[in-house]
């Protein structure tokens, strides 16, 4: 739920600047969509999930072994 709120706020800001905005959420947000773009966007905002270990507390520290790496290339 927070991702969609974040995306809508970013979209509102960009629209207020007169930019064209295309928001893609959930299952529709696929790597193939990014790879299929004919031009690089002026702004690309990717809101992703974070993984946190119990006990990390509010500092937001992420342990190296909890990181998920999914390179596009």
Q: What is the mean pLDDT of residues 51-72?
A: 52
Residue 15 is inside which H or E element, if any? Answer: helix 2-16
Q: With beta carbons less than 8 A apart as the criterion, state whether 51 and 62 touch.
A: yes
58-67: per-residue pLDDT in tens? 555 555 555 5
User: Do 68 and 48 form a contact (C-beta atoms < 8 A)?
Assistant: no
Tokens 């927070």 belong to which residue?
2
3-47 tens-digit pLDDT = 888 889 999 999 999 999 999 988 898 889 989 999 888 888 888
**pLDDT value for 70:** 45
Residue 48, pLDDT above cutoff 60: yes
| 65's tokens | 């072994």
- What one-character DSSP code corresponds to residue 40? -
Q: How far is CA 41 from CA 3, 18, 33, in A?
A: 20, 14, 12
């Amino acid at each position: 739920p927070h991702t969609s709120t974040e995306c809508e706020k970013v979209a509102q800001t960009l629209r207020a600047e007169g930019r064209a905005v295309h928001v893609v959420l959930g299952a529709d947000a696929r790597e193939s969509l990014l790879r299929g773009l004919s031009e690089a966007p002026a702004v690309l905002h990717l809101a992703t999930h974070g993984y946190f270990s119990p006990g990390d507390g509010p500092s937001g520290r992420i342990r190296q072994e909890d990181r998920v790496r999914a390179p596009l290339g």
